Amino acid sequence: AQSVTQPDIHITVSEGASLELRCNYSYGATPYLFWYVQSPGQGLQLLLKYFSGDTLVQGIKGFEAEFKRSQSSFNLRKPSVHWSDAAEYFCAVGAESGNTPLVFGKGTRLSVIA
């Protein structure tokens, strides 16, 4: 069965600093990997996804993530964090076939300080 681990429950960064949110997954086949962001009181917005091909994927809002099969990781990065990036970030894994539910990590809460 799939599983996702986000080791960091809460991260605080200064505005303008770089950011890396960690995600490790466990899946027996080719993983389909996603990062979603949830702003306070809001729904889930898809930031980016990886299915195949280039292991460095670009997303919205200046985010990128790198798939490393050898480390079973899909870490999310941003070179310069803005105060509006403060939110909850979820990594998720899906299966190759469609209509398969996503398995989510427990989320990482990002706080941004001036």
Positions in the binding site for other proteins (CB under 8 A):
32, 34, 36, 38, 42-46, 49, 51, 88, 90, 94-96, 98-104, 106-107, 109
CB 9 within 8 A of CB 106: yes
- Nearest Cα residue to 32 out of 59, 8, 9, 2: 2
CB 5 within 8 A of CB 104: no
Q: Which is nearer to other proteins, 46 or 113 (CB)?
A: 46
CB 7 within 8 A of CB 22: yes
- Between the alpha carbon of residue 107 and those of residues 53, 70, 87, 88, 110, the distances in Å are 26, 23, 10, 6, 10
Q: Which is nearer to other proteins, 86 or 102 (CB)?
A: 102
Q: Which is nearer to other proteins, 85 or 89 (CB)?
A: 89
Q: C-beta of 101: minimal distance to other proteins in Å?
A: 4
Q: C-beta of 25: minimal distance to other proteins in Å?
A: 14
Q: C-beta of 106: minimal distance to other proteins in Å?
A: 5
Q: C-beta of 24: minimal distance to other proteins in Å?
A: 17
